[in-house]
Amino acid sequence: MQTADEKLRGGDVLCPRCQGPLKFHGTHSRHILDENGERHDGWVAQCHCSTCKKYPSLIPDFIMPHKHYEAAVIESAISKVEEEGRIRLGDCPAAGSTVWRWVNQFEERGALAVGCLLAILYTVYGLHISALELVDRGLLKQLSRLARKFPNPGTGGIIGGVNVILTRHNSGFL
């Protein structure tokens, strides 16, 4: 909470909906499951935007919105499926049906995220990445390549970094 409060006071974090200033409003509890399936309880900062009157949560980059597992666990499972085309029992603590749900959601949202990142790079930063650099690569590798072009995307792996970038530019999340 101290880090969230410092970032808010420093103006480092803006409203993901309207880019207005945020003020710390409170917290709410959130649990997350790690690579061993163990539950960890914690708190997520909630803010208030005086411009659009919304109350967005500041979800750390190691947590994916609306998911119970750490982003690293989800990213690892998706990576194994991209590389091997399957998930082996014991590779992930989540049920196989959950992993396939992650993969299907990632395929849908990941392709959209690639397009959004390309558009943001061009319109906001004036940068261009050749389509040849992305061809014949899995979505995680495409997102990794694009995320490296952004200033300070985050530290929570590829998915966490991309979520930070997309949220900063009001383009949703994976």
- Grouping H, G, I as helix, E, B as strand and the rest as coil, residue 46 is strand
Q: Quote the pLDDT of residue 15.
A: 86
Q: Quote the pLDDT of residue 154.
A: 62
Q: What is the mean pLDDT of residues 78-89?
A: 86
Long-range contacts of 6-13 (CB under 8 A, 24+ apart): 7/58, 8/45, 8/47, 8/58, 13/47, 13/58
Under the banding of pLDDT at 50, 70 and 90, the label for residue 104 is very high
Q: Quote the pLDDT of residue 2.
A: 66
Spatial distance between the Cα atoms of 65 and 19, rounded to a whole number of angstroms: 19
Q: Quote the pLDDT of residue 74.
A: 94
Determine the length of the chain. Answer: 174
Give the type of residue at 30: R
Higher pLDDT among residues 11 and 49, named by residue = 49
Instruction: State the residue for tokens 């650099």.
Output: 133
Q: What is the mean pLDDT of residues 51-77?
A: 91
Please, are residues 79 and 159 in contact by the beta-carbon 8 Å criterion?
no
Model confidence pLDDT, tens digit, residues 117-166: 999 999 999 998 888 889 888 999 999 999 999 887 666 689 988 988 88
Which has the closest alpha carbon to 43: 55, 28, 57? 28
Q: What is the residue extent of each domain of the chain?
A: 1-58, 62-174
Model confidence pLDDT, tens digit, residues 13-59: 888 888 888 988 999 999 999 999 999 999 888 999 999 999 988 88
Which has the closest alpha carbon to 150: 165, 172, 138? 165
Spatial distance between the Cα atoms of 121 and 131, rounded to a whole number of angstroms: 13
